[in-house]
Amino acid sequence: MQHLTLEQKYEQFEEFFMIKHIVPVNMRLLDESYSLPDVEDLHEHMPFEFQVANELSEIDSKALRPLLSLGEHASQLAEFLNHQSKKIDLMMSLILQQHSDQANSHQSIQFGGGGLVVASDTEWEIGAAVEVKLFLREEAAAIFCFAEVIACKHEDDTYHISLIFSRIRDEDQDLLVRASLHLQAANLRKRKSQKMNQNENT
């Protein structure tokens, strides 16, 4: 990505669907001398809590995989294990959010698989490298990655900072894509329900 122009990075940023939604985000500006890790080594640079959450997720997926070959007989067991997995995800999500750095706390304006836009009281330099932690409450998940500032626009009393993911695991990017689509579907269902209620009341 370092070989792409700023225009190419912005085009890549906009290739992914983005949804307007508030997500708690921790962002820490990195020194220019900081050497970003390869994606394959990202796990080693994660805070310990994120490492544990990722390992638990991998254990869950490995535990459920053998049940898929058993067909209908294992459906109830798989459903039970999924519920147990969801409980663990919720607990880990709570633990991760409690370790959120309030000094570097922000909120997203919109996000997607390619990056996010956050609100900031201060201007951020284009090209700056940023350590990012996203807390997806709806998915009971948290993501650790690195991003690059590709735009900084002054809007009303704040700055809207656009960041493209520069180092993110494939599974985490897939999770962001799913989360954005889930939220979009929920919004559409809500609008449909509101429209039906309005029609019934007229």
Instruction: Give the domain CATH number at 154.
Output: 2.40.10.220
Residue labelled with tokens 């939220």 = 183
The predicted pLDDT at position 176 comes to: 92
Looking at the domain assignment, is residue 61 inside a domain?
A: no
What's the pLDDT at 198?
75
Tell whether 136 is covered by a domain.
yes
- Amino acid 141: pLDDT: 81
CA dihedral (44, 23, 178, 19) positive or negative:
negative
pTM (two decimals): 0.78
Two structure tokens written together for 115: 């990056």
Res 64: pLDDT: 57
In a domain, 2, yes or no: no
Q: Could you tell me which of 45, 5, 47, 27 has the C-alpha nearest to residue 163?
A: 27
The domain of 193 spans 19-31+38-47+99-201
What's the confidence (pLDDT) of residue 108?
Answer: 95
Tokens found for residue 175 = 């999770």
Number of structural domains found in the chain: 1
Residue 75 lies in a domain: no
Evaluate whether residue 60 is within a structural domain.
Answer: no
Residue 48 confidence (pLDDT): 82
Digitized pLDDT (tens) for each residue of the chain, 202 residues in all: 667 899 999 899 999 999 999 999 999 999 989 999 999 999 888 888 788 777 766 665 565 566 556 666 666 666 666 656 666 665 666 666 666 677 788 999 999 999 999 999 999 999 999 999 998 887 778 899 999 999 999 988 899 999 999 999 999 999 899 989 988 998 888 888 887 777 777 6
Q: What pLDDT is stored for residue 78 in this prediction? A: 62
Q: Is residue 114 part of a domain?
A: yes
Q: Examine residue 151 and state whether it is found in any structural domain, yes or no.
A: yes
Domain for residue 144, yes or no?
yes
Return the beta strands (E) in the chain as ranges.
18-20, 24-29, 105-112, 115-120, 129-136, 141-155, 158-167
